[in-house]
């Protein structure tokens, strides 16, 4: 968010203390736990609760929340086998399964050491579910369905259908830097006419000094209780944030979400520059020019709430300029006076509550922030700009430096 910050541009090395720490080796990330699957499914599908031993009716009832397909299940088999058809219907894989000839499905079942006596259609479903990774061999041999089994399969279906997490990888992946940089290189300015009109009026009427424009298709869909979003405009800084996590032994899921930072361009800054793919100044009236600048939110889903809580102290130590260190010596490249990271769930310690005033049009949304104490006034003012759209106010918990800036109390 360029309109919020005065940023350093000096490249700085990591501190000696950090370099002396042992750097954890890259390692395979363990599969999701039952608790994590439950947390995710509840966050996005409002699952609520699930029995220790799951019936076919209960499973299909939950599955129905995740799909528009008409689901049905047979009674010839027990356990997950009786649910193969609705599982593949919900996963959008039924047509694929039905293409499997006997030679193919027999070979797949043999590879997975599945020796059940199945009719032709059920065998096709079983082979497809195994080869696509939706089910594990043990799922087919059990005559009951455990809570852990059900949650794992439901989470797999969410992933297969694009309703799962949308992320690049893990912070300890050997190729995470390449993925980050490739994603960043794909970002260009995007906009929406309806939201452009509302946003420009909001700036012109001094309701906000600027706002972000985001696109739903990039949303990480992370578990809110484990997630922080860290905003910046330089990919080198994001790479160093990931390196910082690695050096601290913290593993997190990683997504880079583009956002367009939109704020007023003052003519005393100089002539309006020529537009570029990631930076453009647009004129909205005789005396209003707005910058459209590509930035990002680095979305991080941590392995635990304790790791999420540690992030604040790491940023304050290694990625925040201060009056005592205005030159950012010993800090990450591109460290800001007011770093910005937010949680959509309550945080204690050095976090403060603010309000995100979300206005959505299709897959696009704008996000002007305000103080909690100004929420009612800002919502009323935004509503008056366009009666056909809805302002949804969402609570965020932000870091203390950004809160001080938003409240106008202290640039540091």
- When mean pLDDT is compared across 188-197, 327-336, 375-384, 402-411, the lowest value belongs to 402-411
Tokens 């954890």 correspond to what residue?
24
Mean pLDDT of 18-38: 64
The partner residues of 358 in beta bridges, in order of sequence, read 392
pLDDT for 337 beyond 70: yes
What pLDDT, in 10s, does the model give residues 110-141? Answer: 999 999 999 999 999 999 999 999 999 999 99
Report the percent of the chain where pLDDT is more than 70: 92
pLDDT for 358 beyond 90: yes
> What's the maximum distance between 2 C-alpha atoms anywhere in the chain?
80
Q: Compute the distance between CA of residue 44 and CA of residue 50 in angstroms, rounded to an integer.
A: 15
Q: Compute the distance between CA of residue 55 and CA of residue 73 in angstroms, rounded to an integer.
A: 12
pLDDT for 4 beyond 50: no
Mean pLDDT of 214-229: 98
What pLDDT, in 10s, does the model give residues 56-108? Answer: 999 999 999 999 888 888 889 999 999 999 999 999 999 999 999 999 999 99
Backbone angles phi, psi at 148, to 5 degrees: -60, -45
Angle between helices 176-185 and 235-247 (to 10 degrees): 160
Q: What is the pLDDT of residue 325?
A: 84
What pLDDT, in 10s, does the model give residues 152-202? Answer: 999 999 999 999 999 999 999 999 999 999 999 999 999 999 999 999 999
Exposed e or buried b for every residue in 364-384, given b needs 16+ CB within 10 A? bbbbbbbeeebbeebbebbee
Q: Which tokens hold the place of 175?
A: 């190729």
Q: What is the pLDDT of residue 31?
A: 83
Domain boundaries, the chain: 2-28+172-407, 34-160
Predicted confidence band of residue 28 (pLDDT cuts 50, 70, 90) = low
- DSSP states of 83-130: GHHHHHHHTT-HHHHTT--HHHHHHHHHHTT------HHHHHHHHHHH
Q: Compute the distance between CA of residue 350 and CA of residue 202 in angstroms, rounded to an integer.
A: 30
pLDDT for 9 beyond 50: no
Q: Which of 76, 72, 71, 75 is closest to 119 using CA atoms?
A: 76
What pLDDT, in 10s, does the model give residues 10-23? Answer: 232 333 333 333 34
Q: Compute the distance between CA of residue 328 and CA of residue 205 in angstroms, rounded to an integer.
A: 36
pLDDT for 151 beyond 50: yes
**What value does the mean pLDDT of the chain take?**
92
Say what the pTM is.
0.89
Q: What is the pLDDT of residue 323?
A: 86
**In 148-226, at which residue ranges do the beta strands (DSSP E only) sit?**
169-170, 210-215
Q: Compute the distance between CA of residue 215 and CA of residue 318 in angstroms, rounded to an integer.
A: 30
Q: What sign does the dihedral 309-311-314-317 (CA atoms) show? A: negative
């Amino acid at each position: 968010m360029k309109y919020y910050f005065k940023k350093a541009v000096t490249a700085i090395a990591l501190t000696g203390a950090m370099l002396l720490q042992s750097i954890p080796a890259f390692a395979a990330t363990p599969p999701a736990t039952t608790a994590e699957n439950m947390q995710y499914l509840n966050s996005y599908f409002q699952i609520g609760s699930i029995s220790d031993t799951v019936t076919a009716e209960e499973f299909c009832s939950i599955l129905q929340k995740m799909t528009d397909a008409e689901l049905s299940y047979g009674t010839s088999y027990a356990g997950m086998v009786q649910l193969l058809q609705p599982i593949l219907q919900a996963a959008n894989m039924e047509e694929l399964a039905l293409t499997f000839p006997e030679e193919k499905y027999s070979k797949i079942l043999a590879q997975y050491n599945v020796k059940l006596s199945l009719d032709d259609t059920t065998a096709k479903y079983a082979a497809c579910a195994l080869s696509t990774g939706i089910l594990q061999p043990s799922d087919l041999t059990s005559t009951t369905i455990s809570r852990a089994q059900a949650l794992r399969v439901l989470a797999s279906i969410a992933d297969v259908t694009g309703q799962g997490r949308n992320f690049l990888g893990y912070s300890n992946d050997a190729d995470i830097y390449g993925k980050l940089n490739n994603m960043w290189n794909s970002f260009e300015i995007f906009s929406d006419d309806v939201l452009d009109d509302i946003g420009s009026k909001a700036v012109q009427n001094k309701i906000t000094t600027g706002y972000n424009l985001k696109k739903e298709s990039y949303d990480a869909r992370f578990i809110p209780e484990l997630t922080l979003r860290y905003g910046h405009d330089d990919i080198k800084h994001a790479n160093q944030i990931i390196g910082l996590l690695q050096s601290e032994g913290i593993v997190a899921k990683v997504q880079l979400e583009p956002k367009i930072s939109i704020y007023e361009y003052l003519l005393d800054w100089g002539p309006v520059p020529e537009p570029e793919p990631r930076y453009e100044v647009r004129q909205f009236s005789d005396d209003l020019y707005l910058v459209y600048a590509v930035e990002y939110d680095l979305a991080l889903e941590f392995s635990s709430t304790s790791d999420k809580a540690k992030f604040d102290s790491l940023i304050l130590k290694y990625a925040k300029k201060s009056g005592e260190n205005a030159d950012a010596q010993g800090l990450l490249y591109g460290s800001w006076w007011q770093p910005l990271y937010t949680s959509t769930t309550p945080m204690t310690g050095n976090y403060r509550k603010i309000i995100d005033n979300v206005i959505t049009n299709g897959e696009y949304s704008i996000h002007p922030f305000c103080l909690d104490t100004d929420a009612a006034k800002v919502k009323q003012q935004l509503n008056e700009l366009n009666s056909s759209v809805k302002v949804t106010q969402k609570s965020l918990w932000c870091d203390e430096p950004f809160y001080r800036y938003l409240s106008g109390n202290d640039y540091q």
